[in-house]
Amino acid sequence: MVVAIDKPTDVNLILGQSHFIKSVEDLHEALVNSVPGISFGLAFCESSGPRLVRRSGTDPALTALAVRHIQAIGAGHSFLIMLGNAFPLNVLNAIKAVPEVCRIFCATANAVEVIVGQTDQGRGILGVIDGQSPLGVEDDAAAQQRKEFLRTIGYKQ
């Protein structure tokens, strides 16, 4: 099945897999320690015991958005972070450094569709569709625009 992530265009997301309930607090700490005043919502699918959707965040609306979508995905040990005033680039290394994190499926502002497999045991994320397919190959002018853009926003010198 395919689960579409319906979010505002100015919200970025990180979808990943982790292996322990402790992830919720560790991911929260990684986020707040990476960007002062960060606005985010986090939801995690517990895959054993009470099998609850665990949640945390600094923004109730983003937390509710993360909860709604992780419930629709319903894959054990998956987590979804919705970022309000930060970009994945600002937090991704800290997220990947959390010991419980096994993998990151995507980190993007694009439209995302999550491909979910289901068996008698439960659900698992098979992959993601992140954005749209390319329309061509950049030419010299497009390459120059890319380079100028990165320097304009301060990511390159």
For the 2-152 domain, the top CATH level (class) is alpha beta
How high is the pLDDT of residue 126?
A: 96
Which residue's entry shows tokens 């930060």? 86
How high is the pLDDT of residue 137?
A: 95
Q: What is the pTM of this model?
A: 0.92
Q: pLDDT tens-digit profile of 47-99?
A: 898 999 999 999 999 999 999 999 999 999 999 999 999 999 999 999 999 99
User: Do the beta carbons of residue 5 and residue 72 sit within 8 Å?
Assistant: no
Question: Is the pLDDT confidence value at 129 over 90?
Answer: yes
**Do the strands 12-18 and 40-45 form a parallel or antiparallel pair, or are they unpaired?**
unpaired
Q: pLDDT tens-digit profile of 10-51?
A: 999 999 999 988 899 999 999 999 999 999 999 999 989 899
> Where do runs of H (alpha helix) occur along 1-121?
23-34, 60-73, 88-96
